[in-house]
Amino acid sequence: MDVDRVYGGNELFTKEKFLFYERLPSTQDRAKELIKSGVVKKGYAIVADEQYRGRGRFSRMWSSRKGKSLTFSLVVEKIPLLSMGTALSVVEALRDECGLWAEIEWPNDIVVSGQKICGILVEMQRQLAVIGVGVNVNETALPFDNATSIRMETGKPADRESILSAFLSIFEGNLKKENIMDSVREHLSFMNRYVEIETENGKVRGEFINLGDDGEIIIRTESGTATSFLPGEAKRVHKLDAPACR
């Protein structure tokens, strides 16, 4: 990856704080180790061309083939709504750089036409947040159902440096904004649809009626009551084909 093509005019994510690895088990784990050892502070980006033991939410695996995808972890101050801000920035970067209309599948998957194109993992380490982002970029096939890549959607190879560069600038801008939730709401999948939320305590069904200002999903359940779940409380949200609660 050509680092010089990634950076330009950012205040937080600067070239000096860009750590690039040809091959790593996980950018997320490396970022956390480097925070522990005091090497890495806010504004660092840990980027790998190939990641062979990447982690997703709820102990899922996330691997990436050499040079095909964007796999990176960013270190920032812990502030509210980081996963929403990251998801919004991915959507905006895909729109600006690739002309793709992506959506946020709450809480933090990014999908194009219902197929997952990016996953986001936010973790804490010593008062800092580590934001892991994996974007499928130039894969021509993926070993999972319901997954896609930028290339599979546009039919053209995509430039990873330009996408990362756009993402970093957009994300830095979004971090400074007072209110991102209105923009997040504009890009949500499943709004006003019937959904099933998988929680630690089982499944809950209802109509997705809003997203609260703390990033919580608000649904109207079969009994007619509104109930909400924070991003950390839900594993996944599925759209139900038929209304389930009327």
CA pair distance 74, 31, nearest whole angstrom? 8
SS3 6: coil
Question: Which residue of the chain is nearest ligand BTN when measured via CB?
Answer: 119
CB-based contact 45:38 (threshold 8 Å): no
148 lines the binding site for ligand BTN (CB under 6 A): no
CA pair distance 100, 69, nearest whole angstrom? 16
Site for ligand BTN in 1-60 (CB under 6 A): 26-28, 54-57, 60
In the list 85, 134, 206, 215, the residue contacting ligand BTN (rule: CB under 6 A) is 134
List the structure tokens of 171: 């994300």
Nearer to ligand BTN (CB atom), residue 108 or residue 194:
108
DSSP string, 87-149: HHHHHHHHHHHH----EEETTTEEEETTEEEEEEEEEEETTEEEEEEEE--S-S--SSTTB--
Site for ligand BTN in 56-85 (CB under 6 A): 56-57, 60, 62, 71-73
Nearer to ligand BTN (CB atom), residue 133 or residue 170:
133
119 lines the binding site for ligand BTN (CB under 6 A): yes
Nearer to ligand BTN (CB atom), residue 72 or residue 208:
72
Contact residues for 8 (Cβ-Cβ < 8 A; gap 6+) = 165, 169
Nearer to ligand BTN (CB atom), residue 26 or residue 174:
26
CB under 6 A: which stretch of 126-134, 143-151, 194-202, 222-230 binds ligand BTN? 126-134
Least Cβ distance, residue 65 to ligand BTN (angstroms): 12
Which residues are at the interface with ligand BTN (CB under 6 A)? 26-28, 54-57, 60, 62, 71-73, 109, 119-121, 132-134
